[in-house]
A and B are shown apart, each in its own frame.
Chain A
Amino acid sequence: MSRRDDHPDLLPWYAAGRLQDEHAREIERHLEICEACRAEVAAQRSVAGTLRSHDLAEHPTAERLVLYRDARPRLDASEAREIATHVSRCPACAHDLAVLERASARSRPRRPMRVFAAAAASVAVVALLGAWWLGRSISSPSSEIARRVVFPPAQRGGDDVPRLTGSGPWAVTIWKPLTATNGVYVARIHPAAEPGKTVFYAVALPIRGDGSVEVVVNAALKPGPYVLTLSPRQQGAEPIYAHGFEVQGAP
C-alpha cells in the first residue's frame, strides 16, 4: 500500500474509519513511527468531523436540489439564491450537486465519432445476425419473461393454488378486488410459514385499465408455499388482497 514517500496511500480511508482490520493494523504500525502521518490523520479526522456535522444540519430537500441543479422555472429566484448561498457554505450539499452532475453526465446520451458509430453499427449487425442464427430474439425485458401467471380474485381462490414453475422471472397478473380504490399498490411476498419475512417487494403496475395489476417477480424464490399480498403504498396500510401460491423448481 505504500509508495513514493513510504506513507500509506490508504490514510484517508483509515482516518474515515473505512478500513478492514488487517489494513488498519498495518497503518497503525506505520503511525507508531511517523509523526507526519499522525498529524495528517488528526487533521483529516477533524475535517471529516466538520463535513459530517454539516451533514446533520438542515439542507434543501433532495427534490429542491435536483430542481436547482437543473435551473428549473419551478424554483423562484429567491429560493434559487437561498440554495446557492447554502451550497456555497455546505460541503455536503456541494458534494450532492457533484453526485448529481456525475450521474447526469453518465446517463446523457453520448455522440460517438463517425468511425466509432460505423464500428458500433457493424458490431450490432453481427450481433443481430448471431442472435437470429442462434434462434433467440433480442427483446424488451417484459418479453423476456418466461412465464405469465394469473392470480384469481381472492374470494374465488378456493383450492386453486397458482404455481410458479422454473426459475423465473414471472409476470404475475393480479385481479384487484372490486372494492379497491385507485392508487399505487405494492406487492409483497413472504413464505407461508413466516408472515414477517418479506422476500420480495415491488410496485404493482396497472395493466389494460381493467382493474388488474401486474407484478414482475424477479426474486430467486426457493421451492415452497408463499403468500402474495397487495397493499396501498402508504406506510402501515392493511393489505387488500392476499393469495397463497407455490413455487416449484425447474421442471
Chain B
Amino acid sequence: MGDMRSRKEETAAFLAGDTRLVAEVERAIRGTVRSFRLRERDVECDLVQEALARTCEGVGNPRFRNEATIATYARNVARYTTLEFLRKRRREVALDPETLPAAASWSAPDGGLLSEERHRRNAEAFAALPAECREILSLIYLDGCSYREVASQLSISEAALKSRIHRCRLTCRAASARGDRTERYIFRRVAP
C-alpha cells in the first residue's frame, strides 16, 4: 500500500517535471534501447524520443495503474517500441527487391511464389535445426544483419561466428540431402 502511494507521488513528481526523475527515466530508456545494439545511432536517438513520448503519454493517462516504478514502465515501453521498429525494418528488407541479386538463374527470388506445402516443409526443416543455427539464419534473413552485426548480436567473436556458420551449413546441407531423399521416395510412391 505504502509502495503504491510512493509510486503515485513519483508519478505526480514526474508529470510536474522533477528533473532528477526525468533524467532517471531517460537514462533507463536509453540503456534499454542500446541493449538491442542497433546499427544506426540516429535511429537509436529517435527510438529514445519515441519511447519517452509514449512513457509521458502512458504515465499521464488517468488509467495508469502505478504497478511499477516509472523507470520500469519506461523500460518496457522502450522494449516494445524498439521491437516494433525492428519488425517494421524487417518488412522493409523483405519487400525490397533491390536486396535480391538475380544475376544467374539459380539466384532468382522465389520467396513469394512458394506453395503452401513448400512453406510447411521449410518451416518444419527450420524448426528442426539446432537453436544456434536458427538464431544465425533469423538474424540474416529476418533482420538483414551483416557478418559483424550477427557476431555483435550474439556477443561472440567473428572467429567464433565462422565456426558456428560452418557447423550450421553442414547441418543444413545434411538436412537438405535428407529432404531430397524423402522427396524422391514420396515421388516414387505417388508416381503411377
Query: With an 8 A cutoff between CB atoms, is B40 at the interface?
Result: no
Question: A40 to B32, Cβ gap below 8 A?
Answer: no
Do most interface residues of chain A lie in helix, strand or loop, or is the interface mixed?
helix
CB distance A13 to B169 under 8 Å? no
A103–B138 touching, CB < 8 Å = no
Known: A18-B144, A99-B83, A106-B35. A206 touches B16 (CB 8 A): yes
Query: Would B109 and A50 count as touching, CB distance under 8 A?
Result: no
B176 close to A39 (CB less than 8 A): yes
B36 to chain A, nearest CB (A): 5
> Would you call A233 an interface residue if the criterion is a C-beta within 8 Å of the partner chain's C-beta atoms?
yes
Chain A's closest residue to B129 (CB) is A47
A54 near B111 with CB under 8 A, answer no
List chain B residues, Cβ under 8 A from A50.
111, 114, 118-119, 122-123, 126
User: Which residues of the partner chain A approach B101 to less than 8 Å between Cβ atoms?
Assistant: 14, 17, 19, 24, 28
Provided the pairs A10-B147, A53-B112, A208-B17 are in contact, do residues A38 and B106 lie with their beta carbons within 8 angstroms? yes
**A233 to B52 Cα, complex, angstroms:** 11
Inter-chain contact B172/A40, CB cutoff 8 Å: yes
In chain B, positions 98-147 with a C-beta closer than 8 Å to chain A are 99-101, 103-104, 106-107, 109-114, 118-119, 122-123, 125-127, 134-147
Contact residues in B for A214 (Cβ distance below 8 Å): 17
Assembled-state Cα–Cα distance A208/B118 (Å):
61
Instruction: Check A18–B49 contact: CB distance below 8 A.
Output: no
Q: How far is the CB of B72 from chain A (nearest CB, A)?
A: 10
Given A51-B126, A203-B56, decide whether A98 and B135 contact each other with a Cβ distance below 8 A: yes
Closest beta carbon of chain A to B84's beta carbon, Å: 4
On whether the beta carbons of B111 and A48 are closer than 8 Å, the reply is: yes
Interface of chain B, main secondary structure: helix
A111 within 8 A of B: no
Check if A45 sits within 8 Å of B111, measured CB to CB.
Answer: yes
Give the residues in chain B near A49, CB-CB below 8 Å: 109-114, 119, 122
Interface string of B25-68 (1 = CB under 8 A from A): 01100011011110000000010010011001100100000000
A146: Cβ under 8 A from any B Cβ: no
Interface string of A147-191 (1 = CB under 8 A from B): 000000000000000000000000000000000001110100000
B150-192 CB mask vs A (1 if < 8 Å, else 0) is 0001110000001001101100110010000000000000000
A42 within 8 A of partner (CB): yes
Query: B76 to A91, Cβ gap below 8 A?
Result: no
> Which residues on the B side are within 8 Å of A17 (C-beta)?
99-101, 109
* Interface-central residue, B101, B110, B154, by most chain A CB under 10 Å: B101
24 sampled A-B residue pairs with Cβ under 8 A = A12-B168, A12-B169, A13-B146, A17-B109, A18-B99, A48-B111, A53-B119, A55-B87, A56-B94, A92-B142, A95-B134, A95-B135, A102-B155, A103-B36, A103-B82, A106-B155, A140-B23, A184-B53, A201-B46, A206-B17, A207-B22, A209-B15, A214-B17, A233-B57
Residues of chain A having any CB pair with chain B under 8 Å: 3-4, 7, 9-14, 16-19, 24, 28, 31-32, 36, 38-56, 59, 61-63, 65-66, 70, 89, 91-92, 94-96, 98-100, 102-104, 106-107, 140-142, 182-184, 186, 201-203, 205-209, 213-214, 233
